[in-house]
């Protein structure tokens, strides 16, 4: 069982709630075990508020998308127990859609809200089933154009390759069988709802577009007519995960040949979760935590909460390898900036700067989502973070400071007099307190030494704040 220490509590919070806010650290340290801390982190709102587009015109997709992104970033920063938003961000990267192709902020909001409401307290089978017939996904992977007389394999292939099973664990005939099972779902390009094509009744389904022939899929017969044809595609999800009456499929090829697809899927999903929250430096998963996560998924019917809990209470999550094994993604860094300065997304995370940093909500680069870890450590990505921080400093020093003789930061007010008159050490300590950052002694000393340089003038002492916001602690998750 992991040790109940402040260092472990801070690590838990940094990975699950973006940063280790002092109030949350104090609250969790008042509990009686690290397992109790994990349960507290998992106690997230089940009905979070949704973004409103009431202020925008019906065709103003661009500004609605900007508003949705900023709304979500602000929720990430301002929700007390923000793990629900953090898990939603994970699902957004693992099973993505992209606003440019979807063409509707309302449809993107629907998908994001699915991740926000079911991403911790749901089960993967039901959540993926809902996702599969949301119009955002129908459009993004062209399943709205998948008909018996013109099959489109995009969604069926990615459901296995990227979302649930991983490449190499199925054959092309399995892709063709799943594609046939998913035929018949279509959506009106103008209204964003399922299209009612004759002779279809007013349902979210076009019967005439479906291929009703039974299909052999991963060793099971799907689309057999035992259920309504509109549910044939759902059977493929259930076979992969082993959550339906047909039971688990069997991997037909490759190193996993002969294994149950549910076991392979549980390991694939656990690897993705571990690389998002545990560590991605080694590109593997310790056997102990992988086994615990796989068991949690299989025993619970792919419920999400016990799966995540198995990871967060495991000793492997608190090793030095895990603690040092993740770089903050640009979105995580933006949220950390917001929490350190008290600024909203509009000021601290301009979308054009997130674009330059390589990660903008609603715009994943492709159906694979964003890559983890070392992908973010390069000259252009780090320079983009530097520019984000410069913008934050302008908002603080160029706007607020010019209007008052003080700046209000989350951990307290700092005044012009303090900046001009306190010793370098006292000034740096005041900034650390005001931003609520947990910095190493070496970082504190480096910033003090910068201020001690003879070419640093008194009026440049606010630059110490920028150095703290760009310190290594701000870039390590």
How many separate domains does the chain show?
2
Measure the CA–CA gap between 312 and 326, rounded to whole angstroms. Answer: 15
State the burial class of residue 89 (Cβ atoms within 10 Å of its Cβ: 0-12, 13-18, 19+): buried
Q: CB–CB of 111/47 below 8 Å? A: no
Among 279, 268, 270, 273, CA closest to 83: 273
Q: Which helix (H) or strand (E) holds 217?
A: strand 215-217
Residues 224 and 353 in one domain: no
Residue ending a domain, choose from 233, 259, 285 = 259
pLDDT in tens, 399-408: 566 778 888 9
Residue ending a domain, choose from 259, 281, 309 = 259
Place of tokens 């090829």: 253
Residues 354 and 249 in one domain: no
Domain assignment of residue 295, yes or no: no
Phi/psi at 221 (nearest 5 deg)? -95, 115
Domain assignment of residue 269, yes or no: no
Length of the chain: 477
∠ CA 268-269-272, rounded to 5°: 90
Place of tokens 């979302």: 163
CA distances from 97 to 73, 190, 272, 279 (A): 18, 18, 18, 25
pLDDT digit of tens for each residue in the chain (477 aa)? 799 999 999 999 999 999 999 999 999 999 999 999 999 999 999 899 999 999 999 899 999 999 999 999 999 999 999 999 999 999 999 999 999 999 999 999 999 999 999 999 999 999 999 999 998 999 999 998 899 999 999 999 999 999 999 999 999 999 999 999 999 988 665 555 554 444 443 346 788 899 999 999 999 999 999 999 999 999 999 999 999 999 999 999 999 999 999 999 999 999 999 999 999 988 899 999 999 999 999 999 999 999 999 999 999 999 999 999 999 999 999 999 999 999 999 988 888 889 999 999 999 999 999 988 878 888 888 899 999 999 899 888 765 667 788 889 999 999 988 988 999 999 999 999 999 999 999 999 999 999 998 887 777 888 999 999 999 999 999
Domain assignment of residue 34, yes or no: no
pLDDT attached to residue 200: 41
Domain assignment of residue 427, yes or no: yes
Measure the CA–CA gap between 365 and 326, rounded to whole angstroms. Answer: 20
Residues 342 and 253 in one domain: no
Domain assignment of residue 216, yes or no: yes
Residues 240 and 354 in one domain: no
Domain assignment of residue 70, yes or no: no
Residues 247 and 376 in one domain: no
Residues 352 and 469 in one domain: yes
Domain assignment of residue 215, yes or no: yes
pLDDT attached to residue 199: 42
Measure the CA–CA gap between 25 and 37, rounded to whole angstroms. Answer: 10
Residues 146 and 233 in one domain: yes
Residues 250 and 341 in one domain: no
Residue 74: CB atoms within 10 A of its CB come to 19
Residues 351 and 469 in one domain: yes
Domain assignment of residue 302, yes or no: no
**Residue range(s) defining the domain that contains residue 197:** 138-259
Residue ending a domain, choose from 259, 283, 306 = 259
Measure the CA–CA gap between 135 and 85, rounded to whole angstroms. Answer: 22
């Amino acid at each position: 069982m992991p040790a109940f220490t402040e260092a472990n509590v801070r690590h838990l919070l940094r990975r699950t709630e973006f940063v280790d806010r002092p109030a949350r650290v104090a609250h969790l340290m008042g509990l009686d075990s690290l397992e109790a801390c994990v349960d507290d982190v998992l106690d997230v709102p089940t009905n979070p508020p949704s973004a409103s587009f009431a202020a925008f015109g019906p065709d103003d997709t661009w500004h609605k998308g900007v508003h949705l992104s900023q709304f979500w970033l602000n929720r990430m920063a301002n929700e007390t127990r923000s793990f629900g938003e953090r898990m939603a961000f994970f699902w957004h990267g693992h099973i993505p859609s992209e606003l440019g192709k979807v063409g509707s902020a309302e449809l993107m909001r629907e998908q994001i809200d699915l991740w926000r409401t079911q991403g911790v307290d749901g089960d993967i089978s039901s959540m993926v089933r809902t996702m599969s017939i949301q119009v955002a996904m129908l459009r993004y992977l062209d399943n709205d154009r998948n008909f018996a007389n013109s099959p489109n394999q995009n969604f069926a292939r990615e459901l296995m390759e990227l979302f649930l099973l991983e490449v190499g664990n199925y054959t092309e005939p399995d892709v063709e069988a799943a594609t046939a099972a998913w035929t018949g779902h279509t959506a009106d390009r103008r209204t964003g709802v399922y299209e009612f094509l004759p002779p279809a009744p007013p349902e979210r389904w076009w019967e005439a577009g479906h291929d009703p022939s039974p299909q052999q899929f991963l060793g099971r017969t799907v689309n057999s007519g035992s259920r309504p044809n509109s549910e044939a595609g759902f059977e493929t999800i259930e076979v992969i995960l082993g959550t339906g009456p047909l039971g688990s499929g069997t991997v037909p090829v490759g190193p996993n040949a002969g294994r149950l697809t549910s076991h392979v899927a549980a390991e694939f999903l656990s690897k993705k979760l571990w690389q998002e929250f545990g560590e991605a430096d080694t590109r593997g998963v310790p056997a102990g935590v992988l086994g615990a996560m796989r068991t949690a998924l299989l025993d619970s019917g792919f419920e999400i909460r016990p799966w995540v809990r198995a990871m967060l209470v495991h000793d492997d999550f608190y090793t030095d390898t895990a603690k040092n094994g993740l770089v903050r993604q640009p979105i995580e860094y933006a949220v950390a900036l917001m929490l350190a300065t008290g600024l909203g997304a509009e000021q601290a995370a301009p979308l054009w700067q997130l674009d330059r940093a390589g990660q903008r909500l609603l715009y994943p680069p492709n159906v694979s989502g964003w890559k983890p870890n070392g992908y973010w450590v390069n000259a252009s990505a780090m320079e983009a973070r530097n520019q984000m921080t410069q913008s934050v400093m302008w908002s603080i020093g160029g706007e607020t400071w010019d209007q008052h003789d003080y700046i209000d930061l989350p951990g307290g007010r700092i005044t012009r007099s303090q900046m001009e008159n306190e010793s370098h050490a006292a000034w740096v300590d005041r900034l650390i307190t005001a931003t609520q950052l947990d910095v190493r002694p070496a970082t504190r000393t480096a910033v003090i030494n910068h201020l001690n340089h003879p070419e640093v003038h008194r009026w440049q002492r606010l630059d110490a704040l920028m150095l703290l916001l760009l310190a290594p602690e701000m870039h390590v998750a």
